[in-house]
Amino acid sequence: MLVRGARREELKAFQDMGIEVAQRWELSGEVLIQQGVPASAIVVPEEEAEGTLEELRAVYRALGSKDTPVILVTSKYHTRRTRLTWHHVTGGRSRGIVRASGQDPFDPSRWWRERRFVSSVVHEYLGLINYYAGFPVGTNGG
């Protein structure tokens, strides 16, 4: 299942000029197909989401709020928050089996040496603070 990200302003500007830019979820779909996942097995709910909490809520709703185990694939540095947020969204009724992408270049033993990874780790810690504070930032509060 791939969740559509909310269209960002810069992408809207390109679209207004007649330039189509693939969104991240579309690229992820292409990767899945390249890795052998049949296109017919890829589900993309109509709902758009921005951020982990909204994305996981969209997934849970698209699954009909069924309390079955779900495999959630994410980046290496994002696994903890994904697991915690899934537990929050489902009220602990659905087991989130969280796995990092095997192709993720993040190296937890050297993350501070590359700016992109420093940014990711800082963002992750801010996201964890938001989680432990009850999601006051960026959504309707939980």
Burial of 60: CB neighbours in 10 Å, binned 0-12, 13-18, 19+: buried
- To 5 degrees, how large is the angle CA 82–CA 88–CA 92? 105
Residue 142: what pLDDT?
44
Residue 81: what pLDDT?
95
Question: Rounded to an integer, what distance in angstroms lies between the CA atom of residue 59 and that of residue 97?
Answer: 14
Phi then psi for residue 49, to 5 deg, are -145, 150
Identity at 81, one-letter amino acid code: R
Per-run averaged pLDDT (10 residues), the chain, 142 residues:
81 82 86 91 88 92 86 92 95 93 86 89 92 80 44
Burial of 128: CB neighbours in 10 Å, binned 0-12, 13-18, 19+: middle
Q: Which residues contact 130 (CB under 8 A, 6 or more apart)?
A: 136, 137, 138
Residue 97: what pLDDT?
94
